[in-house]
Amino acid sequence: MAPHAEEHTGSTNGAGYSSGHSTAAATAAPQDAFTVHSPNVTYTDADIKSKYTYRTTKVEAGADGKYVATPLETAYDFKTERKVPKTGMMLVGWGGNNGTTVTAGIIANKRGLVWDTKEGCQEANYYGSVVMGSTVKLGTDAKTHKDVNIPFSQVLPMVHPNDLVIGGWDISKMNMADAMDRAKVLEPTLKAQVQKEMSAMVPLPSVYYPDFIAANQEDRADNVLEGSKACNAHVEKLRQDIRDFKTANGLDKVIVMWTANTERYASVIEGVNDTADNILKSIEQGHEEVSPSSVFAVACILENAPFINGSPQNTFVPGVMQLAEKHNAFIGGDDFKSGQTKMKSALVDFLISAGIKLTSIASYNHLGNNDGKNLSSQKQFRSKEISKSNVVDDMVEANHVLYKEGEHPDHCVVIKYMPAVADNKRALDEYYAEIFLGGHQTISLFNICEDSLLASPLIIDLVVLAEMMTRIQWKAASTDGAATTEYKNFHSVLSVLSYMLKAPMTPPGTPVVNALAKQRAALTNIFRACVGLEPESDMTLEHKLF
C-alpha cells in the first residue's frame, strides 16, 4: 500500500499547530456514548449531575490492641461540564524527542496517514494512550451476562487529541521538522508526510539557567530569553506567551507540559522557596535556587493554565505548591512513567500481593537520546534516580507480614549514556525474592522500549485528563435539609494523574500511591462517580450465588 497523502487543513503560526479534526467537537456538547438510568443522575445541555455515596472503612486500634473497623458513608454531588472546550497544548522542550514525536503523531492521526516501513504498511494510531487506546467496563449485559466495555474516552466528554492546538518553547530555535530529524525516532516515510507542517513550527524562546541542566546541553541553547537567573520578566514573558497563544488560536483553555531536560534538584531553603510569598520574592530577587521549571510553573499558576511536570526534578517546591493552592490552579507531576518503571510498579505489586518477599531490585538502563546525554551529568541523574527508586515504597509499607518496620528491599538504579542505541532504550532488571522455606526466586527482564513512542501517548493522556478535571466539580451533599455548600474544584494537586507518572504528587499530608492497579482504579472510579455509577467490584456475585 502506498503512503496516503492528504492536504493539511489546520492552521499554523510561529507558535502553534491546529490539528482540529472537527470544529463542532470543540464547541458543542457531544452525543453521549451511554446514559445512566438513575434518580441520582440528571442531564442538561450544560452538565451531568450525579449524587454519589462514597463508602470507606475507618479503622481504630482498640484498648485490647485489636482493630475496630467501622464502615463510613459520605454523600457527594458531582457536576461535570459537558461542553468540550477548544484546548491548546503548550510543551516546554517542544523541539525535543518527545515534543517532536507527539506533534508528528497527532498530525498523522488527524490526517489518517499511512506509511511504508520495512515490516509493511503502518497506519497512524494512539496505541499506548490510556484515554485513546484502552477500555473500561461499563457493566454487565442484561441478556448475555457478559461484560460490556466502552472506550475510556467515552466515559465522559473529553477533548479528542486530534483537536489539540500545539505550540511551545525550546532553548533550541530549530524548526520542528529539523528537530524531528535530529531526534531520529520516526520512520522517514512518515517524516516526509508531516515535514511541510512541522517546518513551519518554530518554538518560542525559553528560559535557560545553565546551572540546572548538564553543561553538554549548552550547544543547543540558541533560543533563550535574556538572563540566566529567575526574574519577574521571565514570568511575565511566559504568561504573555500563553495569552498570545490562546488568543491567536481562539482557545478556551491551555494546558502546559514540561517535557524538557531533567534538571538538578533545587535546594529547599527556608525563606527562599518554602512559601508562596517567598518563592515570588525569590524570583523577583533572582535567587539561584529557583529553577526554570519552577518559573514556568509559577507563570502557569498565575495565568490559571494547568501545569504538568513530566521530568523528575522537584519543580513543585513547597512554595510553588502553596501558590497553586492559593490560586486554585491545577498542577501535577512528576516524571513520565512509560516503560521500565511502569513494569516495576505492576510486577512489584503482583509479587508482594502474592506473599512473595522481594529483597532486591537492580535496574540498569542505557539510552542514547538527548535525555541520556543530559542524565550523564551526576546532578541530573540524581533527580531521575530518586523518581525511579521510590516507586515501590507504598507496596512494601502495605505488607507488614513480609516486611518489619523499617525493612525495605535493596534498590539500585543505573543509567548510562550510549549514543549508538539512540531512542531505543535498553532496560535490564533483576528482581530477587525470598519464597517458601528460605527458597529464592529471581526474575530477570530485558525491556527494549522506544522511549519517545512510549512517552508521547502519556503526554496526550496527561493533557486530556488535566483538562477534563477542570470541568469536574463536587460538593458535600445535604442529608438533613440544610443549605448545601457551593460546588468547588478538586484539590490543586492532581493526584488522579498518578497512573502516568513515576513520582506522583499528592496533596500535603496525603499518602502516595504507586501501585499501578490502584492508580488505574482511582482514575476510572472517579470518572464513574461523575456519571453516578458505583466502582466495579469484580465480585461477580451474580455468577456465584445460584
List active site positions.
335, 384, 425, 502
- Burial of 247 per CB tally in 10 Å (0-12, 13-18, 19+): exposed
501: CB partners within 8 A, 6+ apart: 310, 332, 333, 334, 335, 336, 337, 462
Instruction: Quote the cell numbers at residue 346.
Output: 505492576
The three-state secondary structure class of 468 is helix
Q: What angle do CA 66, 508, 533 make, to 5 degrees?
A: 75
Strand partners for 426: 366, 448
Can you tell me the distance from the alpha carbon of 544 to that of 529, in angstroms, rounded to the nearest whole number? 26
* Maximum CA extent, the chain: 76
Q: 163 near 42, Cβ under 8 Å?
A: no
d(CA 488, CA 521): 23
Q: How many beta carbons lie within 10 A of that of residue 137, not counting itself?
A: 13
Task: Report the C-alpha gap between 322 and 316 in whole angstroms.
Answer: 9
C-alpha dist (Å) from residue 340 to 121, 462, 471:
28, 19, 33
Nearest to 160 by CA among 368, 20, 13: 20
Kindly give the residue spans of alpha helices, DSSP state H, lying in 354-403: 370-375, 378-389, 393-397
Distance between start and end Cα atoms, the chain: 54
CA distance 424 to 434: 33
| Cell numbers describing residue 448 | 527494549
Per-residue three-class SS string for 18-46 = ECCCCCHHHCCCCCCCCCCCCCCEEECCC
